[in-house]
Amino acid sequence: MSGLAAVLAGRHAPGVHRWESALDVASVRHAAEHAGWGFGYVDGVGLDARDDVLRALGDALAFPDHYGANLDALNDCLRDLPGPTVLLWDAWSGFARAEPRWFRLVVEVLGERGAADPAVEVLLRGPGPAEVVPLLG
């Protein structure tokens, strides 16, 4: 968990990273919450369509009912998160392979946080296209 621990402690900039860890979801949630971060989880098995992924992200991060499940709404709701947040996204590669252009756009929105925005660390766990995002060490 050293890479995640470095992010949670402020020693590594948050962003979108591939993450190789066998920790169960509850342990990742505990580590994030213990450090004062929020937590969301996406089980990406079977999520290979843009609309399904955007809805799953909204559900995982408890976005409000008015969330429009599009890139602008995703960006707006990420700005409204109550604090720094870890998003663990298992089995992300189905979407990355089925809709590579849209996957890159979603990753771009997830990773582009402004200085005034809450920090978001997205952990893409499981095999997938290595060239898409860097590995969190």
CATH of the domain at 65: 3.30.370.10
DSSP per residue, 21-33: ----HHHHHHHHH
137 lies in a domain? no
Q: Which two tokens stand for residue 86?
A: 């870890």
Whole-structure pTM value:
0.96
| Gap between the Cα atoms of 9 and 97, Å rounded | 33
Q: Which two tokens stand for residue 41?
A: 């989880």
Count how many domains the chain has.
1
| Gap between the Cα atoms of 4 and 44, Å rounded | 20
Domain range for 47 is 2-125
pLDDT tens string 46-60: 999 999 999 999 999
pLDDT tens string 101-114: 999 999 999 999 99
